[in-house]
Structure 1
């Protein structure tokens, strides 16, 4: 599922002349903002229901350098879903070189902010959309790097 198109901005470039690692996370976070809208957690819904989504965990992999002015897009594949959480795999694509330059696997949680913030079941419309997307994405191959952990291989 396509979520976002972005172009690497001058203020995102580091001392090595490529996209600063923190800005990969910014681009992925902007994609998650789009994901919220796609699953019916719009600004209006957040305001009226006090339900939102929090990122509970993220794992970013930097696969290729990205330079100033590079057009990128972010896609999303749902991997797992339960009553309060969804695990997604985001891929950042360099639209010129037609390659995946970074990935971000994330655990996202439904949150009720009506009092002290706490996890809560998905809103019904969101649950329905997520279940449909999960069925659709179950037909896709599992990303080879999904579930990967950090380790020094010996």
Structure 2
């Protein structure tokens, strides 16, 4: 069966901040009305401002020396703080999205490969869990653990760690789709990045599965809980 045209959805767990702050849209730009950012902002432009993320200069020729792989270091920007005095829910996805660029460079699907082969990647799904508050000007790093892959899909898991005190602030489970540029349809990736994913998989397949992976969003069953009837069997 041939692939059908695909429009990538975005899903994420609800946060505690204002709902009028948009989440990151796609992997190359961020759009919205009330972010204080331009209508289209590239990864490089986002890193150029205050609280800029540090480029770790990852390349697809680098050895797979650590698992999970650290792909980004940064500092929480004051513009990302909401009325609760902590990082707003939508901006966690901005930070996680910034970490996708170096991850793609590391696996061989970076800008040069995309331009040469006329391919790209789309986000199919994100699931963010908000573990602990992180505040303005606090440093963080983001790591990636590969959970699975094939020629058309990459399933992975990001962890944001507040590095000053060494605690996990948030996680993001995501699926990326490999897209053929001319058709805008899901299509197989080239041999080189597929082999590179195999090298990473060799180092990651024995890692413990994070507890947040595959987590269902729901109110826990109890005498006081009111749940949709079709959710009850899933939570039993």
TM-score, L = length of structure 2: 0.63
Larger Rg: 2
Please name the residue that 1:143 is paired with: 210
How far, CA to CA, are the matches of 1:51 and 1:35 in structure 2?
Answer: 16
1:91 Cα offset (Å): 0.3
Partners of 2:77 and 2:196 lie apart in 1 by 33
Aligned match of 1:44 in 112, 116, 120?
Answer: 112
Q: Does 1:22 align with 2:90?
A: yes
**Deviation of 1:116 (Å):** 2.6
Aligned partner of 1:123 among 178, 186, 190: 190
Task: Give distance in 2, aligned partners of 1:87 and 1:46.
Answer: 19
- Larger relative helix fraction: 1
TM-score by length of 1: 0.96
CA distance in 1, matches of 2:78, 2:152: 38
**What aligned pairs does 1:1-154 form with structure 2 within 5 A after superposition?**
1-113=69-181, 115-154=182-221
Structure (1/2) with the larger strand percentage: 1
Question: How far did residue 80 of structure 1 move?
Answer: 1.1
CA RMSD of aligned residues (A): 0.9
Structure 1: where are the runs of 5+ without partners?
A: none
Hey, what's the Cα distance between the residues in 2 that align with 1:61 and 1:143? Answer: 12
Would the aligned equivalents of 2:101 and 2:110 in 1 still touch at CA under 8 Å? no
- How many residue pairs match? The answer is 153
For 1:143, what is the secondary structure of its paired residue? coil
